[in-house]
Amino acid sequence: MELKVFNNTITAYGGRWETRLELPVETEILIPDYLPAVFKIVKCLIEPVVMHNDLTGSRWQGDGYLRCTVFYQSDETGARLWRTEQKFSFEKSVELPAGRYASGPARLWGEVEYCNCRAISEHRIDLRGAYTLCVAALQLEERELLTSLADCGIEQRTQTLCGTAPVAAVEKACTAETTFPLPGTGEAILDIGGCYLPQGCTVQTGQISCQGILRLEAVYRAEGEEELSVRQKELPVRQTVDMEGAAEGDMCCCWAEILSSTLAAGDNPGDEPLLTVTWKLHAEIWRAVEYTAVADAYSTLCQTEVTTSPCRLLQKAADLDTTLSVSVEDTLPDPEAVVRGCFVTLGGAQAVEAEGDPGAVRLTGRGVAHVLCADARGEMTCYDKPFTWQMPDTWSGQAADFVVHAGVSVLRVSSSRSGDRMRVEVEVSVHGQLLYVQSREVVQTVELGEEYPDKAEGPALYLYYAQAGERIFDIAKRYHARARDLAAANDLTEAGQETTTQAACLLIPAAL
């Protein structure tokens, strides 16, 4: 008689691949004639704008530009703050190690490595720097799962493996338009940005529909003022995106980022000014999966050699849809300085070991508050204050077993001074999901050896003193007996009972 083996091919978690890419910057920024000449450079910011981010097969390709923003003071009366920017394009291609990867956009985050900015003349700025872009891809593993065994007196214990599997992911560049006031006489807009607040996602066959709000924010300097002010406007948006393989019942998570914005007067007299915003939606589809696998096996007729291996599936630890408040304080280097405003840059979210709580994991990230201060003469300086944000919740496990698929953005920033200390209040918005890797041992192979001696010559019944919590299957395996016979002989046939509830003497019928 031959052992019958039934298999199923599944897609399991295979790991996470990461790399760091250096994006160098070496450019010259020319101040246009309609802007005042440079008196003093206050701050230079380098931020990536990724237009294409695609992982196909074992190759990742991405391109976009580094937005190099320079804030400077003019040589005019009052030494007011102005802004200019330069786009420095990049294109990267990386060959990943052999294997299978989840297709679509990779996870991206990064930080400025260094930035050196100096004025060559009143209308020319030299910029040298580098940005470190981190790229992460989800590895998948095709594996054979032993689902059932039959014949040859085989006894088996099965288990149910539950998880969540990626179906599709996409990034889509979108545009939105709304009316927005132009700067008045003497005003200057220094930045237009914002964030996206998801409000729901509907999954249908082959497509999804995402609803949300673009919270747009214009940072400007009013006439006769040096302090920075903010104008905000919320714009409801809705996007329908084709997602191959999507089906009703699948789970969707999404987030977005503002790429660029343009404010222009209307084409005709009397038309309201129009703000055009380009933003990028990141959407992912995940599906709940459930498999049956053989956890252990033995034969009542012959010696059995079983090998096991771990099967890893992703599980959802939490949906991330929250806003966190962060306070940043420090002593001003110049006690007479006046805080004029603040910009904040953020890195990506990461799962790390919770400080002071071994065996627990916390979601955290880093950021930098760029605080603009003016001295008694009106000259401005930017003080960079790094900070860390973290979610209050913790999850059991090791940081290496958690995978973050989320977007992080700045929702609100306010800055002030109290005595000789500066204070920055930041609201950080986190949207997406936190996943963790669950590993379960499953049977990989089963080999049958020599038959046991004729059981008719041995005892027909054994006595075994079991402790509470022992698995019935393991007891039967020790005596090469049938687990169902053991359960029936000892009235352990309650539905779903797998272990003993109390210490007892059990009768072990021999499998004849």
Q: How far apart are CA 60 and CA 138, in angstroms?
A: 12
* Strand ranges, E, within 205-356: 207-221, 228-242, 251-264, 274-299, 302-331, 338-353
477/433 same-domain check? no
Q: Which residues of the chain carry a pLDDT beneath 70? A: 1, 77-79, 454-458, 495-496, 511-512
400/473 same-domain check? no
Helices (H) and strands (E) in the chain, counts: 2, 21
Contacts of residue 145, Cβ cutoff 8 Å, sequence gap at least 6 = 7, 8, 9, 10, 161, 291, 293, 311, 442
Number of domains forming the structure of the chain: 2
Output the six-digit token pair for 337: 């300085």
3-state secondary structure string, 109-125? Answer: EEEEEEEEEEEEECCEE
Output the six-digit token pair for 255: 């987030």
279/385 same-domain check? yes
Tell me the three state secondary structure of residue 400.
Answer: helix
Q: Which of 409, 439, 469 is the last residue of a domain?
A: 439
430/468 same-domain check? no
Residues pairing with 228 in the sheet: 221
416/360 same-domain check? yes
45/88 same-domain check? yes
- Dump pLDDT digits (tens) for 164-197: 999 999 999 999 999 988 887 778 888 999 999 9
Note whether residue 381 is domain-resident: yes
Q: How far apart are CA 485 and CA 436, in angstroms?
A: 39
Burial class (CB in 10 A: 0-12, 13-18, 19+), 205: exposed
Cβ atoms of 342 and 371 within 8 Å: the answer is: yes
Q: How far apart are CA 249 and CA 183, in angstroms?
A: 48
Q: How far apart are CA 485 and CA 512, in angstroms?
A: 11
Cβ atoms of 298 and 275 within 8 Å: the answer is: no
Domain containing 244 equals 9-140+165-288+314-439
410/497 same-domain check? no
The dihedral over CA atoms of 494, 498, 500, 501, expressed in degrees to the nearest 10, equals: -60
Burial class (CB in 10 A: 0-12, 13-18, 19+), 401: buried
Q: How far apart are CA 170 and CA 430, in angstroms?
A: 19
374/478 same-domain check? no
Q: Which of 413, 439, 465 is the last residue of a domain?
A: 439
Cβ atoms of 210 and 198 within 8 Å: the answer is: yes
- Dump pLDDT digits (tens) for 434-465: 999 999 999 999 999 988 886 666 677 888 88
Q: What is the pLDDT of residue 458?
A: 65
Tell the residue number behind the tokens 């998570």, with chain if given.
253
Q: How far apart are CA 347 and CA 410, in angstroms?
A: 11
Cβ atoms of 338 and 417 within 8 Å: the answer is: yes
Q: What is the pLDDT of residue 489?
A: 86
77/132 same-domain check? yes
Cβ atoms of 161 and 314 within 8 Å: the answer is: no
How many angstroms separate the first and last alpha carbons of the chain?
17
Q: Which of 405, 439, 473 is the last residue of a domain?
A: 439
510/428 same-domain check? no
Q: How far apart are CA 421 and CA 373, in angstroms?
A: 12
Task: State residue 476 phi and psi, 5-degree precision.
Answer: -65, -35
Q: Residue 483 belongs to a domain with what CATH number?
A: 3.10.350
Tell me the three state secondary structure of residue 483.
Answer: helix
Q: How far apart are CA 436 and CA 317, in angstroms?
A: 6
Residue 177, number of CB atoms within 10 A of its CB:
11
Q: What is the pLDDT of residue 149?
A: 94
Task: State residue 411 phi and psi, 5-degree precision.
Answer: -95, -40
Note whether residue 160 is domain-resident: no
Q: Quick one: which H or E segment has residue 102? A: none
DSSP state of 499: B
